[in-house]
Amino acid sequence: MLSKCKFVAGVQDKRSLPDFLVPEVAFAGRSNVGKSSLINAVTRNRKGARVSSSPGSTRQINFYLNEGVLALVDLPGYGYSKASKESASSYMSLVEHYLLTRETLHRLVLLIDSKVGLREIDMDFMSWLEEHCVHYSLVLTKIDRLTDREFDDVLSAVQGRVEGCCMLLRPIIGTSSKSGKGIKELVHEVSKCVKE
Ligand code: GDP
Neighbours of 45 (CB within 10 A): 17
What letters, b where the CB count within 10 A reaches 16 and e where it falls short, cover 14-31?
eeebeebeebbbbbbbbb
Q: How much is the ipTM here?
A: 0.99
Digit-by-digit pLDDT tens for the chain (196 residues) are 788 888 899 999 899 999 988 999 999 999 999 999 999 999 886 654 444 444 444 578 999 998 888 999 999 988 865 555 655 566 678 999 999 999 999 999 999 999 999 999 999 999 999 999 999 999 999 999 999 999 999 999 999 988 888 888 889 999 999 999 999 999 999 988 777 6
- The pLDDT score that the predictor gives to residue 81 is 56
> Is the shortest distance between the CB of 62 and ligand 1 below 6 Å?
no
Q: How many structural domains is the chain composed of? A: 1
- The pLDDT score that the predictor gives to residue 90 is 63
Ligand 1: residue of 27, 30, 51, 121 to mutate (most ligand atoms within 8 A of CB) is 51
pTM attached to this predicted model: 0.91
- The pLDDT score that the predictor gives to residue 182 is 97
- The pLDDT score that the predictor gives to residue 86 is 57
**How many Å apart are CA 34 and CA 156, to the nearest integer?**
21
- The pLDDT score that the predictor gives to residue 101 is 96
- The pLDDT score that the predictor gives to residue 56 is 44
Compute the distance from residue 15 Cα to the ligand 1 centre, in Å.
Answer: 31
Dihedral (CA of 170, 48, 104, 12) sign: positive
Neighbours of 161 (CB within 10 A): 15
Domain extent for 57: 5-193
Q: What is the CATH number of the domain that holds 25?
A: 3.40.50.300
